Amino acid sequence: MPEIPVEAIANYRPRRILVTGGAGFIGSLLTRRLLDAGHEVLVVDNFYSGTRGNIEDLQGEPRFELMRHDVTFPLYVEVDEIYHLACPASPVFYQRDPVQTTKTCVHGSINMLGLAKRTGAKILLASTSEVYGDPAMHPQEESYWGNVNPIGIRSCYDEGKRCAETLFFDYFRQHQLRIKVARIFNTYGPRMAADDGRVVSNFIVQALTGQPLTVFGDGQQTRSFCYVDDIVEGMIRLMNSPDDVTGPINLGNPGEFTMLELAKKVTALVDGPDIEYRPLPADDPSRRKPDIAKAVQLLGWEPTVALDEGLDHTVAYFREHLASALG
């Protein structure tokens, strides 16, 4: 991966940065990276899907501040940059209260964009590959408009994020806001919630607790899994890119695996579990693979952690996490 340019280091100054959803899986690691870089970080989270346990070790850090707040309500703080991650990102959580999910995507984005407008802050949206729906283009390029069901059980999240992107670009055109939009593909790694319903955490927790691995459909649907450290690096590079680099930019690993291939990788790490087939959920995308040419060209970014290595780290985390939970 290319080194950060010398001129970027020369122009470096500590910033006050807001991370919404900073107690979540990706947000908590992003917060640590920003603190390590010398910035002040204000984490805002309502703990709907994030947990205090993800950030409890940061309490007492002089440059860290935590505020319990729901982004569907306005926020009045002074910041230089905003990483807007607040939204439940797994089906288990976003389908639990779909109206609130849509409000978080839409009202939350309006409130954070209003804050950015008032303070002059640069703002990054953590969007998602789900804006592509069940894609007719493969791999998915940023120019693809997507194939999304607007009235399905996943629509609260898929269409919510599509609307959030609309708002970001309307604020960019209407108010000349400095925006960045990252379309994040399947992400995994330590600090995932054990009960979030994502396939990597599902398989690992099932395997470690001796349950069959649940594969939906015939297991031939594909995903591209990116280790969380790589995603955070991509987000930081996007935020620090020139103002004319607005995105949307795909952040994900172009390695494509079927669900059965992933299941076999997990069973190779955790001996014993069988596979149990279940009906495919409604509107489940058949294929996912990012085209990351833009990220490579504009950010000098591409993933560095292979799936096998990332699964090793993730399994180790869940071994320790589950052992601790069991006493």
Question: What pLDDT is stored for residue 194 in this prediction?
Answer: 80
- Picking from 287, 21, 282, the residue whose alpha carbon sits closest to that of residue 154 is 282
pLDDT at residue 2 above 60?
Answer: no
Between 216 and 69, the higher pLDDT residue? 69
Share of the chain above pLDDT 90, in %: 63
State how far the alpha carbon of 23 is from the alpha carbons of 49, 191, 318, in Å. Answer: 8, 10, 18
Question: What pLDDT is stored for residue 107 in this prediction?
Answer: 97
For range 256-285, the mean pLDDT = 82
pLDDT at residue 32 above 60?
Answer: yes
pLDDT tens by residue, 41-63: 999 999 988 889 899 999 889 99
Mean model confidence pLDDT for the chain? 90
Question: Using the 8-state DSSP alphabet, how is residue 219 labeled?
Answer: S
pLDDT at residue 254 above 50?
Answer: yes
Is 157 considered catalytic here? yes
pLDDT tens by residue, 273-294: 788 888 877 767 778 889 999 9
Which of 48, 157, 171, 227 is flagged as catalytic? 157
All structural domains of the chain with their residue ranges? 6-185+227-253+289-305
- Picking from 266, 198, 185, 283, the residue whose alpha carbon sits closest to that of residue 226 is 185
For range 253-261, the mean pLDDT = 90
Question: What pLDDT is stored for residue 225 in this prediction?
Answer: 92
Q: Residue 9 — pLDDT band, cuts 50, 70, 90? A: very low
Question: What pLDDT is stored for residue 6 in this prediction?
Answer: 47
Cβ neighbours of 304 (radius 10 Å): 12
Task: Provide the pairing of β-strand 222-223 with 257-258.
Answer: antiparallel
Question: What pLDDT is stored for residue 131 in this prediction?
Answer: 94
Q: What's the CA gap between 193 and 318, in Å, rounded?
A: 9
> Lowest-confidence range among 120-124, 182-186, 269-273, 314-318?
269-273
Question: What pLDDT is stored for residue 221 in this prediction?
Answer: 85
Residues 6+ apart with CB under 8 A from 143: none
Share of the chain above pLDDT 70, in %: 94
Question: Using the 8-state DSSP alphabet, how is residue 133 labeled?
Answer: B
> Lowest-confidence range among 64-73, 140-149, 269-278?
269-278
Question: What pLDDT is stored for residue 159 in this prediction?
Answer: 96
Q: Residue 185 — pLDDT band, cuts 50, 70, 90? A: very high
- Picking from 303, 261, 296, the residue whose alpha carbon sits closest to that of residue 141 is 296
Rg (CA), the chain: 19
- Picking from 228, 112, 119, the residue whose alpha carbon sits closest to that of residue 181 is 112
Homologous superfamily of 6-185+227-253+289-305? NAD(P)-binding Rossmann-like Domain (3.40.50.720)
Q: Residue 10 — pLDDT band, cuts 50, 70, 90? A: very low
pLDDT at residue 3 above 90?
Answer: no
